[in-house]
Structure 1
């Protein structure tokens, strides 16, 4: 196995973990809505999740660890994608917000700051901020 294969496999494991977190948020209220399903399919394709992996993750997302990226910008991008799932149906359900905060800690946002970061993330996505503006705003409130 070459170094590039190892890198790809490690990166793919991170993508699987990220997709599993998105699924957890989609399932937080006990069902996956049509909007959530459409976003899951789109996200699965973007992350190169195979049909077999997609099915396994949908059936048991808790089985897959978070595997956060090392890069701070990539962690913020993950937060952005997760927040999009929280709001895909037009509202931020309390169960989804609580889970988002828990996952944010898993993405290495501090326990003390996770609530503030997630509240700001929801506000930014609700106001249709793009990833660049979202990243800038999160960095301002999450002083590392």
Structure 2
């Protein structure tokens, strides 16, 4: 660990962790071009440097999941995870298993994680924005 990394902000560490999670999801079934395009957008949004981008692509599992601090951030992260999975307009079994694992890792209990993943799959087949996604996740609950 470098001296400068000792002073890395919590937000920066969480952004790297979140980005590494997105990369792992993209790579689990072989990264497609569409997923790479979405990852590059997230690189910018999450303020990931070029060197960190390359490092994370090589080994996303080197970055443990650092769960978000708020319920709002958890929903945002879950939304991001589904955006990367559905970038190529399909979900395979490995992605499904990893989504359930990450949903619990970011702070949902197993029952809520299972519900949110199943509901999100239904929702994401319609390519919804975050506000619609949030509304539909909480509808009828």
TM-score by length of 2: 0.89
> Residue 69 of structure 1 aligns to a residue in which SS?
coil
Q: After superposition, where does 1:82-101 map in structure 2 within 5 Å?
A: 82-101=81-100
Tell me the residue number matched to 1:123.
Answer: 122
1:139 aligned onto 2:138: yes
> Residue 90 of structure 2 aligns to a residue in which SS?
coil
Distance 1:137 1:108 in 2: 20
Deviation at 1:140, TM superposition (A): 4.2
Deviation at 1:113, TM superposition (A): 2.3
Tell me the residue number matched to 1:81.
Answer: 80
Tell me the residue number matched to 1:24.
Answer: 24
Deviation at 1:37, TM superposition (A): 0.8
Tell me the residue number matched to 2:68.
Answer: 69
**Structure 1 residues 39 and 13: CA distance shift in structure 2, 3 A:** same
Deviation at 1:129, TM superposition (A): 1.8
The farther-off stretch of 96-105 and 118-127 is 118-127
Q: How many residues align?
A: 135
Deviations 1:49-104 (A, max 9, x none): 00110011100000101111111011001000100111111111110011011000
Q: Which blocks of at least 5 consecutive residues in structure 2 are unaligned? A: 1-6
Q: Contact between 1:73 and 1:135, CA under 8 Å: does it hold in 2?
A: no
Deviation at 1:137, TM superposition (A): 2.4
Distance 1:128 1:37 in 2: 18
Distance 2:137 2:73 in 1: 12
Distance 1:19 1:57 in 2: 8
**Moved >6 Å (runs of 4+):** none
Tell me the residue number matched to 1:3.
Answer: none
